[in-house]
């Protein structure tokens, strides 16, 4: 399933490269629908499991309460309570040990988060195509949904590489639209991505150096040529220092 969706995304990249926006959008919307279907199916399963778990917990609680009442009515109450206390303690120790069910639950949670990140990535790509078509309303609609899925899937981690790439993609969208306020927003997003990359990967990282070019592009659009040249020159000289002329 995922291999097929990945191949469709590669096809969409091909269409975008040759400015075939409608074809790219059609492929990406097919991917989006499939990933949304997978996401909803997993969400429904989670809700069912949670409901069953609550019923089992409530049933166990009711049985324990009935057991305490029964013990209190017996003649040898102190001895029974001691024995019963040991039994309860042993049960708690067993519950504290990692179980197969717990491992499966953790694995399932990770799987669900990965699905959300995939969905966020697809929605970002759709956002970019709509921005190329100059459809601001639809572009922003998918931007908002993408950010929601990224933050939920990454547990709010704005330093994750996928979220940093999302920031850069949204910056590209604002740069493409090009009004003064949109260029300011592009700069803000590129700057956050740049500072996060510097903090997490360092100044010698290729993605950090490319993020300097993004900021330079904003200055270029603003016709601030001196500032743009400074960012371009720094990025280019550092690439040459690290990688030579290759």
Q: Is residue 96 part of a domain?
A: no
State the chain's mean pLDDT as an integer: 83
Q: Is residue 143 part of a domain?
A: yes
Q: Which of 7-11, 15-19, 51-55, 225-229 has the highest mean pLDDT?
A: 225-229
Q: What domain count does the chain have?
A: 2
Residues 144 and 243 in one domain: no
Q: Is residue 198 part of a domain?
A: yes
Q: Is residue 200 part of a domain?
A: yes
What CA–CA distance (Å, rounded) separates 221 from 188?
Answer: 14
pLDDT band at 136 (very low <50, low <70, confident <90, very high): very high
Residues 231 and 151 in one domain: no
For residue 233, what pLDDT is reported? Answer: 97
Check pLDDT > 80 for residue 91: no
Residues 239 and 187 in one domain: yes
For residue 78, what pLDDT is reported? Answer: 40
Check pLDDT > 60 for residue 111: yes
Residues 134 and 196 in one domain: no
For residue 72, what pLDDT is reported? Answer: 53
Q: Is residue 66 part of a domain?
A: no
Mean pLDDT calculated for residue range 212-230: 97
Check pLDDT > 80 for residue 19: yes
Residues 200 and 144 in one domain: no
Residues 44 and 120 in one domain: yes
What's the chain's length in residues? 246
Out of 85-99, 193-207, 223-237, which region has the weakest mean confidence (pLDDT)? 85-99
- Runs of H (alpha helix) within 2-76: 2-17, 21-72
3-state secondary structure string across 55-120: HHHHHHHHHHHHHHHHHHCCCCHHHHHHHHHHHHHHHHHHHHCCCHHHHHHHHHHHHHHHHHHHHH
For residue 86, what pLDDT is reported? Answer: 38
pLDDT band at 116 (very low <50, low <70, confident <90, very high): very high
For residue 44, what pLDDT is reported? Answer: 78
Residues 212 and 111 in one domain: no
DSSP state of 224: -
For residue 112, what pLDDT is reported? Answer: 86
Structural domain of residue 111, as residue ranges? 1-56+106-156
Residues 114 and 210 in one domain: no
Higher-confidence residue of 20 and 43: namely 20
pLDDT tens profile 144-169: 999 999 999 999 999 999 999 999 99
What CA–CA distance (Å, rounded) separates 130 from 140?
Answer: 9
pLDDT tens profile 158-217: 999 999 999 999 999 999 999 999 999 999 999 999 999 999 999 999 999 999 999 999
Residues 198 and 234 in one domain: yes
Last residue of a domain, one of 156, 173, 194: 156
Q: Is residue 29 part of a domain?
A: yes
Residues 45 and 110 in one domain: yes
Percent pLDDT > 90 in the chain is 60
Q: Is residue 234 part of a domain?
A: yes
Tokens for 103?
């491992």
Check pLDDT > 50 for residue 96: no
Check pLDDT > 80 for residue 246: no
pLDDT band at 244 (very low <50, low <70, confident <90, very high): confident
Check pLDDT > 50 for residue 97: no
Cα-atom radius of gyration of the chain, to the nearest Å? 27
Residues 138 and 208 in one domain: no
What CA–CA distance (Å, rounded) separates 77 from 51?
Answer: 37
Q: Is residue 49 part of a domain?
A: yes
For 20, left (φ over 0), alpha (ψ -120 to 50), or beta?
beta
Residues 121 and 28 in one domain: yes
For residue 43, what pLDDT is reported? Answer: 78
């Amino acid at each position: 399933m995922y291999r097929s969706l990945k191949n469709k995304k590669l096809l969409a990249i091909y269409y975008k490269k040759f400015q075939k926006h409608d074809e790219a959008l059609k492929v990406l919307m097919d991917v989006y629908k499939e990933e949304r279907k997978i996401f909803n199916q997993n969400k429904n399963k989670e809700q069912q499991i949670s409901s069953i778990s609550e019923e089992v917990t409530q049933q166990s609680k009711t049985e324990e309460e009935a057991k305490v009442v029964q013990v209190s009515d017996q003649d040898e109450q102190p001895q029974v309570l001691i024995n019963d206390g040991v039994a309860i303690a042993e049960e708690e120790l067993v519950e504290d040990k990692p179980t197969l069910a717990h491992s499966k639950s953790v694995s399932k949670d990770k799987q669900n988060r990965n699905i959300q990140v995939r969905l966020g990535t697809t929605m970002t790509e759709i956002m970019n195509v709509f921005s190329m078509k100059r459809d601001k309303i639809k572009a922003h609609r998918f931007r908002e949904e993408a950010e929601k899925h990224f933050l939920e899937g990454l547990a709010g981690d704005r330093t994750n590489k996928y979220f940093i790439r999302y920031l850069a993609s949204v910056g590209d969208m604002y740069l493409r639209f090009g009004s003064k306020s949109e260029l300011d927003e592009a700069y803000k997003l590129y700057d956050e991505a740049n500072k996060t990359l510097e903090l997490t990967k360092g100044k010698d990282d290729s993605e950090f150096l490319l993020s300097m070019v993004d900021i330079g592009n904003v200055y270029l659009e603003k016709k601030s040529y001196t500032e743009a040249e400074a960012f371009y020159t720094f990025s280019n000289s550092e690439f040459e220092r690290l990688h030579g002329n290759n």
